[in-house]
Structures are given as structure tokens and as C-alpha cells.
A and B are shown apart, each in its own frame.
Chain A
Amino acid sequence: MHNPPSEYLIQARGVEKHYRRGKVLVEALRGVDLDVPRGAFVVIVGPSGGGKTTLLHLLGGIDRPSAGKICVDGQALETASEADLTRFRRDHIGFVFQFYNLLPSLNALDNVILPLLAKGWARKKARQSGMAFLERVGLQARWQHMPGELSGGEQQRVAIARAMVGEPAVILADEPTGDLDSKSANSIISLMSELNQRLGVTFIVATHNLNLLKPSTCSYELEDGLLSPCSSSTSSA
């Protein structure tokens, strides 16, 4: 499954994804090519239903392409087994979702350390590391709070800490500001930008929020399953 090291963290070639919705064949992605260098902050914009989430799922090993090749951090995903994909997600990917996806039964700290527990870390050691990441997102004082006791912006910060705690090669963020007010959204954008610049974490963000284009190192538009570099008018929007 390991490929020789490449200058790119992510390489996707001719990626297609088809699925059936009833009798209709939906072509969610139609030959996507993508190269992402390490430490990049990639933003993908596009209309709803354009294929952004599908692309992130394929890059994160949640789903498999119908055709094409995807290589992330030296791992070929299109031929990997289910168990290999589980290990791949655990060791290489951090996910941030629009609706945070925190477990409501666990407090902030326990939510953050879940990826470490999946790796088999002892809880005590995982909690120490988790606290450090909560501190990075400015929530160390609220580690005992349950998700329901946190604001949307705070929950998304916890989700970002959870995505980072396993020190993944890349963080895939799917509409990370989609459920936040503008103030919270700007705060999250600043946080991701800071983490990218200070820690060198690679981000791939799918969004409608054009403010996210500001910290991006490169941006793409995904429409009707086709990926293309952002036009300057979109970038400046």
C-alpha cells in the first residue's frame, strides 16, 4: 500500500465517483486531478451538490473512487482493504465536520482524545495530550463541559482539537463554518490559518464561505463533478 515519497502529500488522478440514486446514475466526480503539497491550505468552493463532500470522503478514505487513483501520504487508497482504510484514517487524517459531530455523552476533553484511544493510547497519556490541544484552541478551561454546554464556535474548536490531536498528515474540513455565525466563523478561520502557519498542518477545506479563501495557499472550484482552479473573480469575492 505504501508508495515512494512524493513532493505532494496528496495526489489524485482521474478520480471518478458514480452512484445510483434510484434508477438515475449520479456522476458526483468526473475525472478529478489534484496535487496538494505538504503544509498547504487548500480551499475548495462550489455550489451545493457539486461534489465537494464526495471528494473529501474519497481523500479521507471514508469512501472509494469508482475510477482513478488517490495517494495520500504514500498510501494508495483505491486498492486498500477496509481494515487498511480504517488504519489510514486513524493514522493520517483529521476530520472537521459542519455540525461538529461531537459525542454528546462525552465532555470536551474525552471527545478530543478519541483518535488517540483508537490508536490504543492509555487514557491518562491521551488526556495529557488532549489538554495540550484544547489549550491550543483556547478551551483548556472548558475541558469538562459537555457539547450541549458549549456554543457552536466552541464545539467546532473542540472538533478541530480532536482532528489535530493525532497529529495527522492532513485535516479535511467539510463546511467548518457552515453552521456558525459570522463572528464564530471568522474565529474558526483564524484558528485554522494559525494552525496551518504555525504547525505546518495541511488543510483541505470544502466551503461556501469565501472568507476562507484569504488564508488559502491554493483554491479550487468544484462544480458538476469537475475541479478547476479558482478564477480570480471568485478569489477576490
Chain B
Amino acid sequence: MLTLGYFIFKDLVYDRWRSLLTVSGIAVTVLAYLLLSSFAQAFQVFSQHPQMSSNLVVLAVDVIDPMESSLDEGVLQTVQKIAPDQIAQVFPVIFRHLNIQDQIMEIRAVPLEQMPTSLALTLDEGSWPDDQPEIVVGEDLARIAAWKTGSKVKIYGTDFLVVGLVSSGENNSGAIWMTYSEGQRLFSMRRGFQVGYLCLKPSANPESVRALLQADPRISSQYTVYLESALSSGYYQVYHNLLTLSHIMGLVALLAITFGTYNTTNLSLTERGHEIGLLRVLGFSQGKLCGFLLARTLVLTLAAFGVGWIIAVVFINYHRTHIAMGLSAAPIVLNLPPSAGLLGLALAIIFSSLGVWLTSGRLGGLSPLAGGDG
């Protein structure tokens, strides 16, 4: 083994520029894989469907995006009349996406008493907002925007005070929350409110209630009733697809190693076929020479993986500390999971070995055939 290592070292040093180029090429593909894995890992949180909600939401007819919806108070009274025994609470939600400090942020205005109850928000710090320019902020958003209790935020031309930080089991900890009455004042109730939120009693069957409401002509003509979880499932599917795509792109990036090692090995066999032919003549079997090429490529692959890993770690750390990236005001935090690293290493070794193996058939045909003229 030491002898093999010695000769590999000598060969790599002798052929150092090509070795360096090979390491660089593999390192780039490894880096691409690791960054895509990290990206996919960051999106994993968005693709995880929250637990099935037992609540319903009402939007304007056929509207999917709450921003496009506009409702009036009458709909809340109507749904309560249709299913009074199954609906526990009904309340309006003002929903906006606004550009705040150059980031698109989600604002929700709801009755104060619904924040800790129906919406299951937990106050982690500070106090709940009052009916004045006060807001509480989801923990993820606070981290992205570097806000804390006491920070002042200009929203829609009005200065708001951050009075508390909240967390939630759902993926809505990237939102800004204010009281419904404050939302009414801020937006002057243009376009009414966007979402009617229906909390069902524990005994109620959400799908049955949804069907009942949707079948009523007073609802079906102007509104659409969704299971809260169904409304968001489309988004989760998109994120899930994005995640899958990232994994596939990562694998494709690693697969490029096969072509890279195939090319470099093939080129070596062409340029240095004389030397390899000589080794064949001296009694090295095809298997031994193939083993040498495989071990040599393994060394290059391990070195390249190390380089790719180091660059990826540096980039991700820089990204974490210097670049705030978010989606719907939820932060995208890049991480390099060890499992992705191990999988990448195993695949890099397999793919690089495959590249060598594909060229190994040429070993048998190489000969020094030098010096003779007859």
C-alpha cells in the first residue's frame, strides 16, 4: 500500500498541472453539489406540510392567493348561520404583502384575542400589540430584519413599534402581526378584508362543513371555502418540486465527475500510453494497472472533495452572516448537512471510479513498441 502511495505521489507530482486541473474540475462539481444540497436543505422546511388544520378559510370566489381576495362582514355572519353548531369562531383577517425595508413582507391584521388562541401564536418576548401603531413580529422575520422589541418600523407610511416577538408551530413565523382595528386604520379598509377565518368545534368534520358551506348558494355565488391546509398545499408542492430539482441537479453535477475522469484518464492513456505499455511489458497485469489508475483517481477525488468542501463551508458561513435571504419573509438558512456530504463523497468516488473503469479496456492494447524498425 505504501509502495502504491509512493508511486501515485511521484506520478501526481510529475504530472502536477494536469493533476491540479483534475482536482479543480472535480472540486467545482463537488462545490456545485454541496451548495445545491445546502439549498435543498434550506428549502426542506418550506416543503414540509404542516399538520392538517381543522380550520377553514373563506376567500372571494375562485381566488387562491389571499392578496386577490376582498370580503365584507356579511360573509362571516352568513357562514355562522349556515353551520352554527359546527363553527366555534369566525373572524376577519387583513392580509397584505408590502415592501418594507426593501424586502417583501407579509402583514396580517387579526383580532387581538385570536392571536394566542385560534392562531396559536406564542409570545416569546415583550407584549401583545394594542390598538395603536404596534406590531409583534415572527421570530424568523425578526432575525432576518434584525428587529427586536423596541425597534421602529415604517409600514405603509406609518411608524410602528415592535412590542413583541412571537413564534408559531406553523410556517407563519415570518409575518408581521397587528390588531385588526389597527389594520383597518392603516389600510382605510380599502378592499375590505381578505380572509374569513373559521375555527371549527372539535366535534365538527372539516370536510363536511366545507362541503356544506360551499353548497349553500349564498356562499357559492361569491365565495370559495377551503380547508386551510389545502390552500397552502399548492405552495408546499412547489417547494417540494424545487427540493427534488435541487437534488437531481446535485446528482447531475456529480455525474460530471465520471466524464471528467474518463477524459483525463483517456488523455493520460493517449499521451502516456508508451509508459503504461512499458509497465505491461515489464509484467504489470492489466488489473494492477487499472488498480493504480483507480487509486490515483481516488486520491485526486478525495483531494478535490476536500477542496470543494472547504470552499462550500466558507461560502455558506459568509452567506449566513452577510446575506439575508428569505422567502415570504421566512429566512432561507443554508446549512451543510453531514449526510449530504457523506453521500456526495460516496457518489464522487463511485462516479470517478466509473470514469476510470470505462477507459480501462484500453490498457490491454498499449505497448511500448519502441526502438525496433523491423
Contacts and interface: CB of A to CB of B under 8 A. Distances in A.
A14 interface: no
B361 interface: no
A16 interface: no
Contact of B283 (A52, A56, A118, A175): A118
A106 B10 contact: yes
B371 A83 contact: no
A89 B364 contact: no
A174 B372 contact: yes
Given A103-B278, A105-B15, A123-B6, A53 B283 contact: no
Nearest to A102: B278
Contacts of A106: 7, 10
Nearest to A146: B14
Contact of A101 (B284, B370, B373): B370
Interface residues of B, number: 30
Given A62-B367, A82-B364, A101-B368, A115 B374 contact: no
A79 B51 CA distance: 73
Contact of B371 (A62, A89, A123, A174): A174
A89 B280 CA distance: 9
A98 B372 contact: yes
A114 interface: yes
Contacts of B288: 118
B249 interface: no
Contacts, number: 101
A90 interface: yes
Interface residues of A, number: 47
Given A82-B364, A101-B368, A123-B2, A89 B281 contact: yes
Contacts of B281: 60, 62, 89, 95
A25 interface: no
Contact of B14 (A48, A50, A57, A104): A104
Interface in B24-48: none
A213 interface: no
A78 interface: no
Interface string A95-132: 10111010111100010001101110011000000000
Closest 10 CB pairs of A and B: A53-B372, A90-B283, A98-B371, A105-B14, A52-B374, A118-B283, A48-B373, A123-B3, A97-B371, A53-B374
30 contacts: A47-B374, A48-B374, A51-B374, A52-B373, A53-B371, A53-B372, A53-B373, A60-B281, A62-B281, A62-B367, A62-B369, A82-B364, A83-B285, A86-B280, A95-B282, A98-B371, A101-B274, A103-B278, A104-B14, A105-B10, A106-B10, A114-B279, A117-B3, A118-B279, A118-B283, A118-B284, A118-B288, A122-B3, A179-B371, A206-B374
Interface of B: 2-3, 6-7, 10-11, 13-15, 274-275, 278-286, 288, 364, 367-374
Interface of A: 28, 46-57, 60, 62, 82-83, 86-87, 89-91, 95, 97-99, 101, 103-106, 110, 114-115, 117-119, 122-123, 162, 166, 174-175, 178-179, 206, 222
